[in-house]
Amino acid sequence: MQTAFTTMRHLGLNRPTAITPTTQNRRRSVVIQAKATAYQPPSSTTGATELDALERYSEVVPDVMLSQALQTIEKSKAATSSRGVIAGIMANPTGTGRYKFAIEQARYYKKDSGISGPELTALQVDKALVNVGGLMLESISGRVSTEIDARLAHDTDKLVARGRQIVALYSEDGISKDRLVIRMPATWEAIQAAQTLENEGVATHLVCIFSFVQAVAAAQAGVSVIQINAGRLADWYDRNPGMLRDPNAPLEARAMEMAGYGAAQANPGLLLAEKVFAYLKTNNPKTKLMASGLRTKQEALALAGCDYLVVGPRVLQGLQSASTLEGYNDGLHVSESQGMKPKLTAEFAKNYEISSVETGEVSKAIFEDQLGLAGKELLNESVQSMVLDANRLEPLFLNQAGGQE
């Protein structure tokens, strides 16, 4: 993975050049000539920042949009066009002119004159998402993830149809599907829809992963990217102190935790990310892991090696402002070995023990049974929040965009 970190080279001699022996220099069978190099005084090359070091092992995706914070790091790898983003653009009085215009233009879109009412509104909102996504693609080097209406989260056929519609809308603008990812909450029905879309060559991105069984089912379906919100999962356990935070802890530690002593430092969100990483790398390497909801730079650094890390402006700034010894020049040599060592590696995945019961073929019954209390509550809460976003956006879109034509 190419990162913003610039690899340093050991100081020393350039590649030696051999002199061919002649009758005049028989006694020196081979003579090495060294070309002199300029001395670099100590500290002429500084150490990498923690962000530089982290980007050696993970794709860092800034959780900011239409913000100058994007300009403080190298060209972003990915972006998301969602109803929340659309609402934010429409509510922002300054700095989003091109994006606002792209949204307003969507209200004139009528591919089929035979549709009207809610069906036309849904199409025009999708067109607004695509218009904004197209602009985002001008500023990122990777793909744009575009959200499907969460009100369809439990209807496989409708999810597939809307995914195809979004791909077709991008295609009308000359944007191929290899720069797109279709984003859905990880319900059972959405996982089945994702499998169909993946089989058609459309990459999918499932969010709202709060349990291991969701990750396994999504990986078995061939989903391209799955996203764990570590912060929200940790919050749930904070609100439910009687629940076991680390089921893999030794028996005595679990007993202490259930009794209310110790283990409070265990972060269930980070623990789930570690477990899912290990499973994916050893069983379904096609599926990439994205971790979000990282509240501190320590949490981000703890997941170094995860495929994608979504970090907000505060954490991003903290990583950028902290220096490391990695790459520091002491005047004798430059070394990368003094920097961070990622926890999430192939060796970590190989040695991580997961029960075969948890990795078997996932059916709908198994999915619902193993989702767990935290998974069920958080998935339902997340879907409902996304539904509210959709319900709020449509009147805002119609009123600010001038209504349906």
Mean pLDDT of the 176-204 span: 98
Give the span between the Cα atoms of 391 and 403, in whole angstroms.
16
Neighbours of 308 (CB within 10 A): 20
Count other Cβ atoms within 10 Å, centred on residue 155. Answer: 15
Asked if residue 208 has pLDDT above 90, the reply is yes
The stretch 60-83 carries a mean pLDDT of 66
Would you call 246 helix, strand, or coil by DSSP? Answer: coil
Least-confidence region, from 72-81, 211-220, 349-358: 72-81
Whether the per-residue pLDDT at 195 is higher than 60: the answer is: yes
Full-model pTM: 0.80
Mean pLDDT, range 247-255, rounded to an integer: 51
> Alpha-carbon distance 394 to 397, whole Å?
5
Q: How far apart are CA 309 and CA 373, in angstroms?
A: 26
CA distances from 200 to 177, 180, 203, 227 (A): 10, 13, 9, 22
CA gap 66, 342 in Å, rounded:
31
Share of the chain above pLDDT 70, in %: 74
Of 205, 240, 237, nearest to 221 by C-alpha is 205
CA dist., res. 203 & res. 310, Å (int): 19
Pairwise CA distance, residues 245 & 237, whole Å: 7
Which range, 38-47, 83-92, 336-345, 366-375, is most confident?
366-375
pLDDT value of position 45: 46
Q: What is the pLDDT of residue 70?
A: 40
| Other CB atoms within 10 A of residue 301 CB | 22
The confidence score (pLDDT) of residue 284 equals 96
Higher pLDDT, 274 or 398: 274
| pLDDT for 28 beyond 60 | no
Q: What is the pLDDT of residues 121-145, one digit of tens each?
A: 999 999 999 999 999 999 888 899 9
- Between CA 257 and CA 172 the distance in angstroms is 56
List the single range of 102-116, 207-221, 248-262, 386-400 with lowest mean pLDDT. Answer: 248-262
Per DSSP, the three-state class of 85 is helix
Residue 43 pLDDT more than 60? no
Confidence at 226, pLDDT banded by 50, 70, 90: very high
Q: What is the mean predicted confidence (pLDDT) over 377-397?
A: 94
Predicted pLDDT of residue 110: 84
Residue pair 315/73 in contact (Cβ under 8 Å)? The answer is no
Note the residue count of the chain.
Answer: 405
Return the pLDDT at 11. 35
